[in-house]
């Protein structure tokens, strides 16, 4: 799970494997596989960095290191 912050300041965690796409319009918008749209304060690069960190932590990049 990765931590993200809603526009109202509430932090919560989402499953990064459920993110279908990330857009900046201008707020960062995550489109989930379920069709749900999540708007967060973090910029797209920060979300991607958190996904990469998470995948490293769980061993998702073993063959790439």
Structure confidence by residue, pLDDT tens digits, 39-55: 999 999 999 999 999 99
Please classify residue 4 by burial: count the beta carbons closer than 10 Å to its beta carbon, then call 0-12 exposed, 13-18 middle and 19+ buried: buried
pTM, entire model: 0.86
> Mean pLDDT of all residues in the chain?
93
Is residue 65 a part of any domain in this protein? no
Asked if residue 65 has pLDDT above 60, the reply is no
Domain count, the chain: 1
Q: Is the previous residue joined to 35 through a cis bond, with omega within 30 degrees of 0?
A: no
Is residue 9 a part of any domain in this protein? yes
Is residue 63 a part of any domain in this protein? no
Range of the domain at 48: 2-58
- Mean pLDDT value of segment 5-33: 97
């Amino acid at each position: 799970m990765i931590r993200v912050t809603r526009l109202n300041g509430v932090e919560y965690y989402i499953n990064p494997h459920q993110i279908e796409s990330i857009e900046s319009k201008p707020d960062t918008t995550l489109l989930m596989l379920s069709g749900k749209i999540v708007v967060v304060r973090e910029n797209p690069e920060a979300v991607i960095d958190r996904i990469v960190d998470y995948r490293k932590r769980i061993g998702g990049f073993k063959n790439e290191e």
